[in-house]
């Protein structure tokens, strides 16, 4: 299983074939995991990935499952399972 590698930051283009873009706005995007990528925090396969360059983010609702958070120097990543 391929894990998201954050050691050199996160560039969605590195995973273009493995992630499906669901939503995008100025500073953030939501992606679906379609190739069994594993979470950089817990190692389990994740369901959705949210990536943001914004300083602060608000979520209107929370998923039921586990949530993992990871970061690079520029980005915040939230992964749901
Ligand atoms: Zn995780």
Q: Structural domain boundaries of the chain?
A: 12-80
pLDDT at residue 1, rounded to an integer? 74
pLDDT at residue 37, rounded to an integer? 96
pLDDT at residue 62, rounded to an integer? 83
How many whole angstroms from 56 Cα to the centroid of ligand 1?
Answer: 21
Taking CA atoms, 75 is separated from 23, 33, 46, 60, 65, in Å, by: 17, 18, 18, 20, 22
How many whole angstroms from 10 Cα to the centroid of ligand 1?
Answer: 16
Q: Is the pLDDT of residue 60 over 80?
A: yes
Average of per-residue pLDDT across 17-46? 95
């Amino acid at each position: 299983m391929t894990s998201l590698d954050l050691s050199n930051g996160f560039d969605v283009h590195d995973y273009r074939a493995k992630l499906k873009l669901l939503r995008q706005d100025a500073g953030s995007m939501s992606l679906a995991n379609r190739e069994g990528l594993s979470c950089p925090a817990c190692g389990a396969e994740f369901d959705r990935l949210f990536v943001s360059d914004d300083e602060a983010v608000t979520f209107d609702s929370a998923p039921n499952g586990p949530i993992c958070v990871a970061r690079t120097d520029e980005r915040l990543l939230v992964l749901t399972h």
